[in-house]
Amino acid sequence: MRRILVWIFEKLIFTIFLILLFIRGSVFAVLNFFADWSGVVFVIFFSDIS
């Protein structure tokens, strides 16, 4: 079950990454966005599955 959740989560992140890359057209803008949010997302995600 956990493996499935991680797989879905990875696909979701990858999809969001592609969409943001397409919309904003800047790799650095997308990376900055993920730098801002990755900490929050991972805390929520890992506290949820553990």
pLDDT at 50: 53
* Tokens read off for 46: 């890992």
Q: Which one, of 13, 11, 7, 19, lies nearest residue 41 by Cα?
A: 13
Per-residue pLDDT tens digits for 1-50? 788 888 899 899 888 888 877 776 677 776 777 777 776 776 766 666 65
Which 3 state secondary structure label does DSSP give 49?
helix
Q: What is the helix, strand, coil percentage profile of the chain, to 5? A: 90, 0, 10
Instruction: Indicate whether this model's pTM tops 0.85.
Output: no
Q: Assess contact for 50 and 5: CB atoms under 8 A.
A: no
